[in-house]
Amino acid sequence: MSQTCDVVVLLSGTGSNLQALIDSTRTGDSPARIAAVISNRADAYGLQRARDAGIDTRFLDHKAFEGREAFDAAMIELIDAFNPKLVVLAGFMRILSAGFVRHYQGRLLNIHPSLLPKYKGLHTHQRALEAGDTEHGCSVHFVTEELDGGPLVVQAVIPVELQDSQQSLAQRVHSQEHLIYPMAVRWFAEGRLSLGEQGALLDGKLLAASGHLIRT
């Protein structure tokens, strides 16, 4: 059994991806352990999910700081107190400063509800429907200084149905997020996933530009 990989999760909302990660790390054979959950919102339900699971929680109010860099510097200090090997963004609704991203280079993962590089930013399900896309999905990627632009690790692809609404599409994408995010975190915790100079590496091999594809 490899060493335990301590993970810190950052979130701003309900924490459904956090719950999927909690459930996946409680299987008994997982090398990942969630050491702490940190939020910039005191009312984030994800903090309650963490408390219910006996995980340390912290709240850091971004409004209490003069600008993004000051907040991010305080976040770094808070995160590093837990000495994590991996930092996971699970609906953390803050654009991160370049200094923050560089500090955690190669050990900072995010999940995005689109098939990147399509639909960076917000309203991804609406944009996929408006474009008439036949496929949609979600992507786990390493975080770089480019918004939603880091090397892709894994993508789940689902068909867009004729009767799909934003809500139905979002629901099906969410269910895929809850599968691929724990998978990527486990790969990292097992030492199988890393960030190389050319992109994401799985078992020492460079992943395709689209990452590891899973189709449903």
Tell me the catalytic residues.
112
Task: Write out the two tokens for 98.
Answer: 């370049």
Establish whether 15 is an annotated binding residue: yes
Task: Write out the two tokens for 148.
Answer: 């939603």
Instruction: Give kind and range of the element (H or E) at residue 24.
Output: helix 16-25
Contact of 84 with 8, CB cutoff 8 Å: yes
Establish whether 96 is an annotated binding residue: yes
Establish whether 40 is an annotated binding residue: no
> How far is CA 191 from each of CA 72, 86, 154, 195, 201, rounded to the nearest angstrom?
27, 11, 16, 11, 10
Establish whether 93 is an annotated binding residue: yes
Establish whether 2 is an annotated binding residue: no
Instruction: Give kind and range of the element (H or E) at residue 64.
Output: none
Establish whether 127 is an annotated binding residue: no
Establish whether 108 is an annotated binding residue: no
Tell me the C-alpha distance between 137 and 207, whole Å: 18
Establish whether 12 is an annotated binding residue: no
Tell me the C-alpha distance between 39 and 8, whole Å: 11
Residue 204: Cβ within 10 Å count: 8
Establish whether 94 is an annotated binding residue: yes
Helix runs in 163-204, H state only: 166-189
Helix runs in 37-85, H state only: 45-52, 68-80
Tell me the C-alpha distance between 180 and 190, whole Å: 15
Closest CA to 16 of 49, 55, 41, 57: 49
Residue ranges of the binding site for (6R)-10-formyltetrahydrofolate: 68, 93-96, 110
Residue ranges of the binding site: 15-17, 68, 93-96, 110
